[in-house]
Amino acid sequence: MVRSRTAFGPDAARAPMTPRAFESRTAVHRSSARVTLVGELDLDTTPQLSEAVAACLAEQPKSLCLDLTGVAFCDCAGLNALLTARMSVLQAGAEFIVEGIGPQPARLLALAGAADILPDARIRQARQHPATARREPLSPTTRLWSPLG
C-alpha cells in the first residue's frame, strides 16, 4: 500500500501558515511501514502526519519509520505531532524509528529535551551546541531582571 497526499493546510477557508505545499507519503510492506514527510511541519500540516501514521498503524506493522529528510522546518505544533506519533506507534506495539532529522528540527527537539525520546545523531549534536546546552537550573532566589538596572 502506498499513499500520497499534498495540501496547503487543513482549512481551505483561511490562509495557510505554510506557504509551500506539504506532502506526506506512506508505504506499508509486510511488517514495516514508512511515513515520508516533505515540507514544513507546522500547525497547518500536523493533521496530515497524524492521518498518515493512523493509516499505517491500521495495517498493524511491527515497525514504523518516520522519514523527516524533506522537513526543513518544524514548529511546536510539529514537535507535539512527532511526540504524539511516537506515543501512538509505541501503544500499537510497534517499533518507532526516526530518520533524516534536519538541523532546524534537530535544534528544536534538543531545546525541548526530546533527544532521548527521538534519538538521532543530529539532535545529540544540537544539544551539545553552546546555544542549546543545558544550564544549571535557576534557584527560587535568582533574579533574572531588575528594574533598577
**Chain segment 55-104, per-residue pLDDT in tens:** 999 999 999 999 999 999 999 999 999 999 999 999 999 999 999 888 89
Count structural domains, the chain: 1
Q: Indicate whether 45 belongs to any domain.
A: yes
Q: Indicate whether 38 belongs to any domain.
A: yes
Tens digits of per-residue pLDDT, 86-97? 999 999 999 999
Q: Is the pLDDT of residue 2 over 70?
A: no
Question: What is the rounded distance in angstroms from the CA atom of residue 133 to the CA atom of residue 141?
Answer: 22
Q: Indicate whether 82 belongs to any domain.
A: yes
Q: Indicate whether 136 belongs to any domain.
A: no
Residues in the chain: 149
CB 124 within 8 A of CB 94: no
Q: Indicate whether 148 belongs to any domain.
A: no
At residue 31 the predicted structure's pLDDT band, cuts being 50, 70 and 90, is very high
Q: Indicate whether 134 belongs to any domain.
A: no
Q: Three cell numbers at 148?
A: 533598577
Residue 95: its H or E element: strand 95-99
Q: Indicate whether 144 belongs to any domain.
A: no
CB 50 within 8 A of CB 85: yes
What range does the domain containing 42 cover?
A: 2-128
At residue 144 the predicted structure's pLDDT band, cuts being 50, 70 and 90, is very low
Q: Indicate whether 138 belongs to any domain.
A: no
